[in-house]
């Protein structure tokens, strides 16, 4: 007969293995992740650079505060050489505006980093992927979706992001998502697996991912950079990032004999 403690600890180990299964298959890449405490031993954040209005606090990184005409960004200095990945961003968009607020932020997987510009704080005619969390509708005509709105755009450097149309003519897909001024944590996951792009949110306080959209046949090279940028204009909001985690996906089919 086993002592009670042993059985209990065995039970806990089994529970741990089940709950940790996701983490043991997919590996968080420390050099592409940004988690607390942000600072290393010195004054630099290892692997990350920031620009513009960005400030780093112990608990969050504020890309813009709730004032007009700000641009801020944070970029991962290490190029991503992982073929299949999932990027999870814990964020908070909040401000005093009840009906008028903006402009939003963008999560990047792009060739150029640290280049200031008009697309939610980063450069236009970019090369790579932008997942845009747009809080303000610039569109004056009849609208087919509400804001806040999440969309994805892939660019080879030839396309411009058209704010007047909220990027609708260049987007791959999108979904409405009420992610602003929430009292609980909000997360977005961008999964890029075998040329399939899936964007999901966890913004309903359910600790579960809900698919926003999925697009097949998305071709992205390796070696680009992860970044997040935000902007305010006439309207404003705080755009805060709590964490960024990049996981390398361990796909069974990748194992070749």
Which residue's CB is nearer to Ca ion, number 112 or number 166? 166
How many Cβ atoms are within 10 Å of 87's Cβ, its own excluded? Answer: 23
Which residue's CB is nearer to Ca ion, number 113 or number 151? 151
Q: Minimum distance between the CB of residue 127 and Ca ion, rounded to whole angstroms?
A: 22
Contacting residues toward Ca ion, per CB under 5 A: 134, 136, 138, 166
Which residue's CB is nearer to Ca ion, number 83 or number 94? 94
Q: Minimum distance between the CB of residue 235 and Ca ion, rounded to whole angstroms?
A: 10
**What backbone phi and psi angles, to 5 degrees, belong to 12?**
-65, -40
Contacts of 76 (CB under 8 A, 6+ apart): 31, 32, 34, 47, 48, 113, 225, 226, 227, 244
End-to-end CA distance of the chain: 44
Which residue's CB is nearer to Ca ion, number 49 or number 138? 138
Q: Minimum distance between the CB of residue 250 and Ca ion, rounded to whole angstroms?
A: 37
Q: Minimum distance between the CB of residue 189 and Ca ion, rounded to whole angstroms?
A: 22
Q: Residue 132 corresponds to which tokens in the numbers above?
A: 């845009």
CA distance 39 to 208: 29
Number of helical (H) and strand (E) elements in the chain, helices listed first: 2, 17
Q: Minimum distance between the CB of residue 42 and Ca ion, rounded to whole angstroms?
A: 38
Q: Minimum distance between the CB of residue 25 and Ca ion, rounded to whole angstroms?
A: 37
Radius of gyration of the chain (CA): 19
Which residue's CB is nearer to Ca ion, number 138 or number 181? 138
Which residue's CB is nearer to Ca ion, number 25 or number 178? 178
Element (H, E) at 91: strand 85-94
Closest CA to 135 of 249, 238, 28: 238
* Stated length of the chain: 257
Q: Minimum distance between the CB of residue 99 and Ca ion, rounded to whole angstroms?
A: 15
Say if residue 80 is exposed, middle or buried (CB neighbours under 10 Å; 0-12, 13-18, 19+): buried
Which residue's CB is nearer to Ca ion, number 166 or number 240? 166
Closest CA to 83 of 163, 191, 175: 191
């Amino acid at each position: 007969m086993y002592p009670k403690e042993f059985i209990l600890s065995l039970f806990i180990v089994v529970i741990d293995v089940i709950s940790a299964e996701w983490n043991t298959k997919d590996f968080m890449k420390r050099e592409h992740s940004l988690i607390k405490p942000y600072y290393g031993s010195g004054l630099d954040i290892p692997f990350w650079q920031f620009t513009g209005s960005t400030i780093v606090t112990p608990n969050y990184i504020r890309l813009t505060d709730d004032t007009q005409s700000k641009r801020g960004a944070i970029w991962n200095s290490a190029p991503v050489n992982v073929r299949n990945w999932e990027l999870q961003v814990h964020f908070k968009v909040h401000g005093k505006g009840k009906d008028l607020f903006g402009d939003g932020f963008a999560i990047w997987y792009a060739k150029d980093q640290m280049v200031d510009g008009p697309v939610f704080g980063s450069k236009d005619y970019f090369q790579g992927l932008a997942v845009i969390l747009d809080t303000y509708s610039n569109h004056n005509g009849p609208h087919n979706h509400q804001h806040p709105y999440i969309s994805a755009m892939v660019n080879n450097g030839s396309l411009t992001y058209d704010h007047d149309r909220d990027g609708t003519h260049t987007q791959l897909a999108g979904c409405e998502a009420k992610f602003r001024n929430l009292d609980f944590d909000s997360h977005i996951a961008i999964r890029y697996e075998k040329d399939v792009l899936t964007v999901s949110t966890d913004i309903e306080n359910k600790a579960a991912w809900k698919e926003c959209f999925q697009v097949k046949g998305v071709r992205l090279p390796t070696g680009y950079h992860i970044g997040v940028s935000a902007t305010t204009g006439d309207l404003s909001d705080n755009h805060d990032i709590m964490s960024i985690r990049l996981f390398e996906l361990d796909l069974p089919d990748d194992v070749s004999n």
